[in-house]
Amino acid sequence: MKQMIRSAATAAAITVSGLLGTAAPAQAYPVDCAILLCLAGGWPASAPCAHARAVFIQRITPWPIEPPLQIWRCPMGASFSSPAAPSPRERLINIASQVSPSISLPDSSLPLIPVQADEQANADISGDAFDFVRSIRVYHIQFSQRRNRDGDCIRSDATRLGSYGVQGDYRWSRSSVAQVPPASALPRSLHCASVNYRAVFVDWRDHAGNYGFEEVRY
């Protein structure tokens, strides 16, 4: 199954690449389908996957902080001509061939707001094959510490965690720098060194369980 999904991601990247070559300028291919497929396959080297990853990271670049994968924008509930139930590979390749009217990108004119989303995938993604979606974690790190004149350590930690539910819905919850993965460049001094750290850190695991991350300082 894992090899099947990874193969589907590669095939889908080729499909999307062909779509980009023939689509009219006013159209946009479904970038969230590309994100879904490329993430599952470990971001294989291709122009569509490079663009998909760029959008994935742009969405967590502040103003506002968006869900990096907006799976509700990918038409997973599309109908199929075959009377038999499609395999996961057929389903993912079919997804990549759909056309969507828009690509969501962050707007730098907006305030720094973590965006929640009640929308969900329009198909059942509760199975193990889509665990890679639920592996995505977004940490909005807002942390500072310093010593005051009396030698007391003054800390401020407003870190929040963005995560995905069973059906791809996205929620923010309170967190702390203690929960931020070690891959972050967040300073982790045992003493009360002066720190002022603001960043958005996202990590994930692909369908094969391989770990990946990105961090954006601001």
Q: Is the model more confident about 118 or about 140?
A: 140
For residue 32, which phi and psi values (nearest 5 degrees)?
A: -70, -25
**3 state DSSP class of 129:** helix
Q: Is residue 172 over pLDDT 90?
A: yes
Average of per-residue pLDDT across 185-199: 91
Range of the domain at 7: 2-217
The sign of the dihedral angle between the CA atoms of 39, 41, 43, 49 is negative
Average of per-residue pLDDT across 113-122: 76
Domains in the chain, number: 1
Q: Give pLDDT, residue 87.
A: 53
**3 state DSSP class of 140:** strand
